[in-house]
Chain A
Amino acid sequence: NAGVTQTPKFQVLKTGQSMTLQCAQDMNHEYMSWYRQDPGMGLRLIHYSVGAGITDQGEVPNGYNVSRSTTEDFPLRLLSAAPSQTSVYFCASRYPWGTQYFGPGTRLLVL
């Protein structure tokens, strides 16, 4: 199993550009989520999904969109990038009552 995969590993954007961070898992987990990690802030939840077609907002959802058309994929869209979105983004998946597994992360720099 590849586990949780994320692409790209690193991305530089200009303010106002849009992009999609990809996340996929091959463990048939119902639950998937996106976090951002900023220095001294721990991980903060952006959006999560409990299954295909079902998504909900986390602690810091503004400026991000998600959709879940399949069990395997959970892309995160930045609509109009801002310097405040410079961060490391982690995707995760689990069964509702199970161990959470993280992807390797995407490092995003917005200029």
Chain B
Amino acid sequence: GIQVEQSPPDLILQEGANSTLRCNFSDSVNNLQWFHQNPWGQLINLFYIPSGTKQNGRLSATTVATERYSLLYISSSQTTDSGVYFCAVGKGGGADGLTFGKGTHLIIQP
């Protein structure tokens, strides 16, 4: 199956800092999504981004499918950004399961 590697595994930043999270995957994919799991365990979808670039407020993401990686950018971090960020990919015809990476654990300190 597809291997998904996320880096860094842990990241501690001060409020207001910027960060870049990386997701590498081992095969071609046609589905890639980023999720945020908050400290209460809730999983929220951030981006559906199999290719290209998207922005939503302070967050943006870029996927370069030909080079098999995706980046999630967080600007002007806030304490509410703390949690675990997961990248998940799929390669079937939209009808397969998503394979998740192990996540990046982000802590934003006030």
Contact mask for chain A residues 20-52; partner B; CB cutoff 8 A; 1 contact, 0 none: 000000000001010100001111110010100
Q: Smallest CB-CB separation from A51: which chain B residue?
A: B95
- What is the CA–CA distance of A31 and B98 in the complex, to the nearest angstrom? 11
* Set of chain A residues within 8 Å of B35, measured between Cβ atoms: 100, 102
Q: How many chain B residues have a CB neighbour from A under 8 Å?
A: 23
* Nearest Cβ on chain B to A3's Cβ, whole angstroms: 11
- What is the CA–CA distance of A58 and B2 in the complex, to the nearest angstrom? 13
B93 at the A interface (CB under 8 A): yes
* Nearest Cβ on chain B to A47's Cβ, whole angstroms: 9
- What is the CA–CA distance of A104 and B41 in the complex, to the nearest angstrom? 8
* Set of chain B residues within 8 Å of A98, measured between Cβ atoms: 48
A75 at the B interface (CB under 8 A): no
Does A59 contact B1, Cβ atoms closer than 8 Å? yes
Contact mask for chain A residues 92-111; partner B; CB cutoff 8 A; 1 contact, 0 none: 00011111111011000000
Choose among B45, B86, B93 the residue that contacts A43 (Cβ–Cβ < 8 A). B86
A74 at the B interface (CB under 8 A): no
B25 at the A interface (CB under 8 A): no
Q: Which of A31, A45, A104 has the most CB of B within 10 A?
A: A45
* Nearest Cβ on chain A to B102's Cβ, whole angstroms: 4
Choose among A44, A99, A104 the residue that contacts B45 (Cβ–Cβ < 8 A). A99
Does A101 contact B45, Cβ atoms closer than 8 Å? yes
Task: Say whether, besides A90-B43, A104-B42, A42 and B97 are in contact (CB < 8 Å).
Answer: no
Interface residue ranges, A against B (CB under 8 Å): 31, 33, 35, 40-45, 48, 50, 58-59, 88, 90, 95-102, 104-105
Interface residue ranges, B against A (CB under 8 Å): 1, 31, 33, 35, 41-45, 48, 86, 88, 93-103
The 5 closest A-B pairs by CB, nearest first: A96-B94, A45-B97, A102-B43, A42-B102, A43-B100
